Structure 1
Amino acid sequence: MTQTASTPTKLNKFEKFKAEKDGLAVKAELEHFAQIGWEAMDETDRDHRLKWLGIFSRPVTPGRFMLRLRTPSGETNSQRLRVLGEILQPYGDEGSADITTRQNLQLRGIRLEDVPNIFRRLEEAGMTSMQSGMDNVRNITASPVAGLEADELLDTRELVQQVQDMITNGGEGNPEFTNLPRKFNIAIEGSRDNSVHAEINDIAFVPAYREGILGFNVLVGGFFSSTRCAPAIPLEAWVEPNQQVVDLCRAILEVFRDQGSRANRQRSRLMWLIDELGLDGFRAAVAAKLSWDLLSGAAEDEITWEKRDHLGVHPQKQAGLNYVGLLVPVGRLNAADFLELARLAEVYGKGEVRLTVEQNVIIPHVPDSRLEALLQEPLLATFTTTPSPLVRSLVSCTGAQFCNFAMVETKQRALDIAQELEAELDFPRSVRMHWTGCPNSCGQPQVADIGMLGTKARGADGKPTEGVDIYMGGKVGKDAQLGSRVMKGIPCDTLKSVLQDLLIKEFGATLKG
């Protein structure tokens, strides 16, 4: 951390252990950790510093770690999926994976003694997990159909990769940005439908014309926390779709690193620094780090479409080819799923696979002549292209099954309740329901039509039980906005009837005859 006049002399406990030893330093100790075992490790190394490498110790599954990858733009391929499936296979039922709301993958059930070999296999396949946890920049998101759709404005994938390489030193780890005051999210949108949820990112680039030239308006400061949720606000800046994007990300990160608060972690996200400096002051601090003039923002951006989920069959701009969006129920995969998705991508496409922030999968480059055969594949009975109206838009965090922060079990409960409601109701349209197990809001309930945030509630007998706070009013795509809490402490045992009532009154659902 660069010391400044505003740097507090009193550091929180996380800043203290970061000052003692950079999180990235444990990279050189992985072989040693594998030999001595997780129980013999220094607790701070095990429970905190390993997160700089994307390795997460989970108290609810002692000895079994989570590994968070970096999947820029949600872009991957059959070779990589096959490697991930083979990594998970030896763990049997204890091995699984989740697609995240940042177009990313998290592997579960990993044993520490296997990590050195796993890292070698990831590197051989062109994958990395560096700087994917704790006070680092998370996976950088983009349109999941970048380079595929005829109506896109910009294919942002190369820019996303350049920003990731700048932050992570090409995936090797970069000490320049391993000591941010708090975690950080970046999104670069090239389409018209805000597929990245720009409003919930610390930095978001959205397409905009300025004086007839297509570039990006810049938003800053969006975040969720247990004490505050804030949508991103305009930086009043516009950049060209080139090195300026990388330079601006670097400048903002440096200002945040050097001037962000390190005293209270609940007040350490970027928006708190913007509040402290004022938007004009923050913009001036960022502009001072650039070698070029930061231009004023365009009056309007090009986010003019309602958001799409990309499920189903869609023609690509490449004649005769299609991308096929598959629903992955609440984003959960196992080893066999990885291997089968790899096979399908090779047999019917060109081996390419995309991930979405809705926790689903896209197989692109499927010729017209091969569509029918793909749609008949057994895996598509589960990973369907035509899901039911609630399950279609269902998003869930990991929940209490694997995450010690979660106050409720989410994934299976979310799926069960959605399917039960579908059996009882008819819907005029899909309703977006998001579940998250705790106020960290990994499941993003604030962007949903109906969002559930795990909490403790009082049951009918007056005893504590699992419950949720309910959020409504979230809107995605054009004119996106965050929802607000409308109900508090609803016991999970009675939640289905509450949701049924909301779906009928607010979304036009009707009871089946």
Structure 2
Amino acid sequence: MVATATATASLNKFEKIKSEKDGLAVKAQLEDFAKIGWEAMEEGDRDYRLKWLGIFFRPVTPGKFMLRLRLPHGIINADQMRVLAEIVQRYGSDGNADITTRQNLQLRGIRLEDIPEIFRLLKAVGLTSVQSGMDNVRNITGSPVAGIDADELFDTRELVQQVQDMITNKGEGNPEFTNLPRKFNIAIAGCRDNSVHAEINDIAFIPAFSGESFGFNVIVGGFFSAKRCDAAIPLNAWVTPEEVVPLCRAILEVFRDNGLRANRQKARLMWLIDEWGIEKFRSEVEKQLGKTLKEAAAKDEIIWEKCDRIGVYRQKQPGFNYVGLHIPVGRLFAQDMLEIARIADVYGKGEIRLTVEQNIIIPHINDACLAAFLSESIIKKFAINPTPLTRALVSCTGAEFCNFALIETKNRAVELMQELETELTLKKPVRIHWTGCPNSCGQPQVADIGLMGTKVRKNGQTLEGVDIYMGGKVGKDAQLGTCIRKSVPCEDLKPVLRELLIKHFDAEINSEFSN
């Protein structure tokens, strides 16, 4: 573990908070917090340590917390979804859930006095929110069609669950991994289309064959932050599926014990790799692992363009289908969640899957039931054939609920795309990602067009605006985009986007708007 001899006075604010009390310690205090209320809580507990349990104090909505779950692989069942719907339903207009870009759900409007009961409800259906915030490993992602896609190379669901169980002690909390230098992302891909956005993870396992044997090439260090964004780089290592969990543990232990902690802006894994060099980093991981890693396979198997999985698809299981529903910017309300749980039960096997594009997949729909499924009224709201700009739209939470966001994103994003689609005809989807601040939760750097919130000056006033990114690519030959224009006021954004869509994505102006 990290040495504790450093004088507390020399630690930055966050390291000082962690040195005073482990984040998991507040788990035993939840009943007391519920009784005294959020205003009477010690700041370190309320604003920071609660995040170790997935509970986020939001100054923009005082008294109303966000609860971030852990949903490994983005898989949930209908009973669990109903419980989550009932939780947010009690909060009326304040209650909703957002699908995140890590196949996860965040519940909004939560009151602190309800947390003990909410945690009891979650535990009863096998859900946890432990270690989902601050300096912990975040939700572990995998292909949203693992186990049902006929073209997959490896079903990663069990591996993802094993990694989660190792990190979180099967959802109970694991102090071994609650004091990382900074947050950490892991993705495990068993498909050929890079549905996990491997290159933006601290560790990503990419399918590859070494001779006739299946395994994974490993890349490390990918991340987004306000200070720097970098794609992951090869570790020059190939591992079998059985070696994935031990390697994750070894890398996390090396990062935990050696990662840079003085400056939080330089505390992600890539900064340690920069300081050591990839060869030393690999060597230290091997020492921790207790074995020499096999060199990477000559090529990996991510050879397809990205598929968003919206629409109707045949499963590998004969006679069954999975259907991808488009959820505009990932926003769900209680009634939506109850309806999704119902149709998953009635037409499928009660399983629901989330995607990194903030959409939902319902698998295991029998051929005989497919027409009836597609006639359900909820399918009109959450379409299987959305329009091109709406289809590929992604957005972070924005200023409505997040105190870091500099602009409002979700509602603005939906409205602006709808306006542009009345004026333009597009031949194919264009991936437009919105993020409210440089923390890049909306991942603008992987989009065809990325919009990052900022404050701009116009006519002597401070307004909401965006920096514009272009050139991000997912799937094979993935790459990060770059900023092409800064400080565009949101009120002036529509004509700028219209011009970009016409010039770079072959959009055509509809006749009624041509003059």
- TM-score class, shorter-chain normalisation, is over 0.9
- How many residue pairs match? The answer is 511
Question: How much does 1:51 deviate?
Answer: 0.1
Q: Residue 191 of structure 2: SS of its match in structure 1?
A: coil
Partner of 2:494: 496
For structure 2, the 5+ residue unaligned runs are none
Tell me if 1:326 matches 2:325: yes
* Residues in 2 aligned to 1:132 and 1:487: alpha-carbon distance in whole angstroms: 34
Counterpart-to-counterpart distance in 2, 1:7 and 1:222: 31
Residue 211 of structure 1: how far off its partner (Å): 1.9
CA distance in 2, matches of 1:458, 1:117: 47
Shift of 1:293: 2.6
Deviation at 1:369, TM superposition (A): 1.0
Quote the residue 1:475 is aligned against: 473
- Paired residues for 1:230-241 under 5 Å: 230-241=230-241
Q: How does 1:343-362 map to 2 (within 5 A)?
A: 343-362=342-361
Q: TM-score, normalised by structure 1?
A: 0.98
Partner of 2:107: 107
Alpha-carbon distance in structure 1 between the residues aligned to 2:381 and 2:492: 28
Contact 2:8 2:16 in 1 (8 A): no
Amino acid in structure 2 at the alignment position of 1:300: K
Question: Which letter does structure 1 place at the counterpart of 2:199?
Answer: E
Over the aligned positions, Cα root-mean-square deviation in angstroms equals: 1.3
CA contact (8 A) 1:7 1:259 kept: no
> 2-side partners of 1:148 and 1:359: how far apart?
19
Q: Matched residues in 1 for 2:213 and 2:377: separation? A: 47
In structure 2, the residue corresponding to 1:390 is in which secondary structure? helix
Identity %: 69
In the alignment, does 2:133 pair up with 1:130?
no
Q: 1:363 corresponds to which residue? A: 362
- Per-residue CA deviations over 1:187-215 (Å, capped at 9, x if unaligned) read 00000000000000000000000122110
Q: Is the 8 A contact 1:152 1:191 kept in 2?
A: yes
Cα shift at 1:4? 9.2
Contact 1:74 1:356 in 2 (8 A): yes
Cα deviation per residue 1:425-453 (whole Å; 9 max; x = unaligned)? 00011100000000110000000000000
CA shift at 1:90, angstroms? 1.1
Counterpart of 2:393 in structure 1 is: 394
- Cross-structure match for 2:21: 21
The match for 2:415 is 416
Matches within 5 A, 1:281-296: 281-296=280-295
**Long gaps (5+) in structure 1:** none
- Asked whether the 8 Å contact 1:7–1:262 carries over to 2, the reply is no
Indicate yes or no: 2:226 matched with 1:226: yes
The residue identity in structure 1 corresponding to 2:296 is: G
Instruction: Map Cα deviations across residues 284-326 of structure 1 (whole Å, 9 max, x no partner).
Output: 0000011333111111100000000000000000000000000
Q: Retained in 2: the 8 A contact 1:8–1:262?
A: no
Residue aligning to 1:486: 484
Amino acid at match of 2:69: L
1:88 and 1:290 map into 2 onto residues whose CA distance is 43
Instruction: Tell me the secondary structure at the aligned position of residue 204 of structure 2.
Output: strand
Does 2:174 correspond to 1:183?
no
2:144 matched to 1:147?
no
- Tell me how far apart the structure 1 counterparts of residues 499 and 169 of structure 2 sit (CA, whole Å): 51
The corresponding residue for 1:266 is: 265
Question: Quick one: distance in 2 between partners of 1:426 and 1:120?
Answer: 50
Q: Which residue of 2 aligns with 1:195?
A: 195
**Structure 1 residues 327-355: Cα deviation after superposition (integer angstroms, max 9, x where no partner):** 00000001111111000000110000100
- Alignment correspondent of 2:211: 211
Letter of the structure 2 residue corresponding to residue 384 of structure 1: A
Contact 1:136 1:180 in 2 (8 A): yes
Q: Give 2:474's aligned amino acid.
A: V
Q: CA deviation at 1:7?
A: 11
Which whole-Å CA distance do the structure 1 matches of 2:8 and 2:422 have between them? 56
TM-score, normalising length from structure 2?
A: 0.98
